[in-house]
Amino acid sequence: MNVLFFILRKEFRQIFRDRIILAMMTFVPIVQLIILPFAADFEVKNINVAYLDHDHSSYSNELINKIGSSGYFSLVGYPLSYHDGLQLIETGDADLVLEIPSGFERNLVRHGHQKVNIVVDAINGTKSSLGGSYLKSVLADFNSRLDIMIKSPNDAISLPAKRIEISSVNWFNPRAEYKYYMVPAILVLLLTLIGGFMTALNIVREKEVGTIEQINVTPIKKWQFILGKLIPFWIVGMIVFTLGLTVMYVVYGIFPAGSIPTLYLFAGVYLVALLGFGLLISTFSDSQLQAMFVAFFFIMIFILMSGFFTSIDSMPGWAKQISLLTPVTHFIHVVRLIVLKGSSLGHVYMELFYLILFAIVLNSLAIWNYRKTS
């Protein structure tokens, strides 16, 4: 233990001596956690709509006003022809074009039906599908109001037939705000970047400055050296995780619905696994640039296949298997369940088992691969 104590004292001195690295591990992630959730918002808003009104009737004006006041659309153009509307889409000035044909009001009153033309810019698949769905829902709501607006031949208002009324309740995220889904995952992402990159550069730095030979000739055992490299960054990681939870509550008003000790238990085990992964990369690499590129390669795969951006259920079978082999996938899933759903340890104990397995395997490989002789 005395040997481990001296290694830890050396590591902490090294961390506090380099103020840039210390700021990158503490201050920078907090700033990113404050900024990134506002940018990583997949909710589609401000959809630009251009419309062609060939009817110029009270019904067409009411439909256009309803679209403009829905909160999702911005009326950006009034083309005179269908060709002009397509040019607005080609130049990127409009996302949707709505064409209202002539005789719109007459056909609705006399025949009870009328087709409209919707042209969607499908370059951005998410925005086009959601924008088209939003516009269709506005048209459906406008259509339902016509049941009351249109009068029968004897001037009596014809009321719509009785329908099944559907009321829905959003569980765990009542207001359906996207930040509640993204902020916990971004906190995991920042923790991953700190743990993966900082430790991947750790042993390599000793190689580049030449101190690794001095350490290798000492009677320090391999497990003591790896543990001495791991513990300081584990402590820094837990401090960053605490600061992240504080920012999550103060800035976004998100407080974990589940047990906070359970959350810290998973964070502690996850950091051990991730730091072991970074140290494993560091034992293989000969320079900091090489370690950085290797760490970047794997961490990008971890992030993109962890369910951070897209649901794992929508991935093909082979991609699901790869995602289950990354600790980031399990930790993001657990953090969302504990923070939003209030899941207890009994509900997520299998995820803890996977993280412990990752921690044992990765750190064992790091200890085994570290060589005291060259």
SS3 annotation, 242-269 = HHHHHHHHHCCCCCCCCCHHHHHHHHHH
**At 119, phi and psi to the nearest 5?**
-115, 130
How far from 349 is each of 106, 140, 284, 330, CA to CA, in Å?
64, 46, 33, 11
Residues of the chain with pLDDT > 90, as a percent, come to: 18
| 171 within some domain | no
Query: 106 and 253: one domain?
Result: no
108-117 pLDDT, tens per residue? 888 777 888 8
Judged by DSSP in three states, 178 sits in coil
CA–CA dist 289, 205 (Å, integer): 10
Q: Is 355 helix (H, G, I), strand (E, B) or coil?
A: helix
C-alpha radius of gyration, the chain, whole number: 29
The CATH number of the domain where 78 resides is what? 3.40.1710.10
- Which of 159 and 10 is assigned the larger pLDDT? 10
In a domain, 157, yes or no: no
Amino acid at the residue 105: E
Of 9-13, 63-67, 275-279, the least confident: 9-13
Residues 264 and 303 in one domain: yes
Give per-residue pLDDT as tens, 117-146. Answer: 888 888 876 777 778 888 888 888 887 776
Q: 3-state class of 206 per DSSP? A: helix
Mean pLDDT of the chain: 83
Q: Which of 257-266, 310-319, 354-363 has the lowest mean pLDDT?
A: 310-319
Residues ≥6 apart with Cβ < 8 Å to 262: 338, 344, 345, 348
In a domain, 154, yes or no: no
> Which alpha helices (DSSP H) does the chain contain, by range?
2-17, 19-39, 58-68, 82-90, 104-111, 125-149, 179-200, 202-209, 211-216, 222-250, 260-284, 288-304, 317-324, 327-336, 349-369
Calculate mean pLDDT across residues 259-269. Answer: 94
Dist. CA 192–CA 85, nearest whole Å: 46
Most confident option among 12-21, 132-141, 202-211, 290-299? 290-299
Place of tokens 């000035």: 93
**Is residue 232 situated within a structural domain?**
yes
Backbone dihedral region for residue 103 (phi beyond 0: left; psi -120 to 50: alpha; all else: beta): left
Question: Are 268 and 190 in the same domain?
Answer: yes
**What confidence tier does 44 reach under pLDDT thresholds 50, 70, 90?**
confident
Mean pLDDT of all residues in 233-259: 91
Cα→Cα distances 144→38, 113, 140, 150, Å: 35, 12, 6, 11
pLDDT above 50 (res 154): no
**Residue 305 covered by a domain:** yes
166, part of any domain: no
The Cα-based distances of 242 to 11, 246, 263 in angstroms read: 22, 6, 11
> Quick one: tokens of 71?
């909160």
Same domain? For 107 and 144 the reply is yes
**Into how many domains does the chain fold?**
2
Distance CA 159, CA 49 (A): 32
Co-location of 12 and 71 in the same domain = no
What pLDDT is attached to residue 158? 47
Instruction: Based on the fold, state whether residues 193 and 314 are members of the same structural domain.
Output: yes
pLDDT score, position 153: 44
* Residue that terminates a domain, selected from 149, 167, 197: 149
Segment 67-118, tens digit of pLDDT: 888 778 888 878 888 888 888 888 888 888 888 888 888 888 887 778 888 8
318 within domain boundaries: yes
Residues 207 and 353 in one domain: yes
Residues 206 and 114 in one domain: no
For residue 81, give its domain range. 47-149
Answer yes or no: do 129 and 248 share one domain: no
138 and 81 in one domain?
yes
Same domain, 256 and 232: yes
Within-domain flag for 326: yes
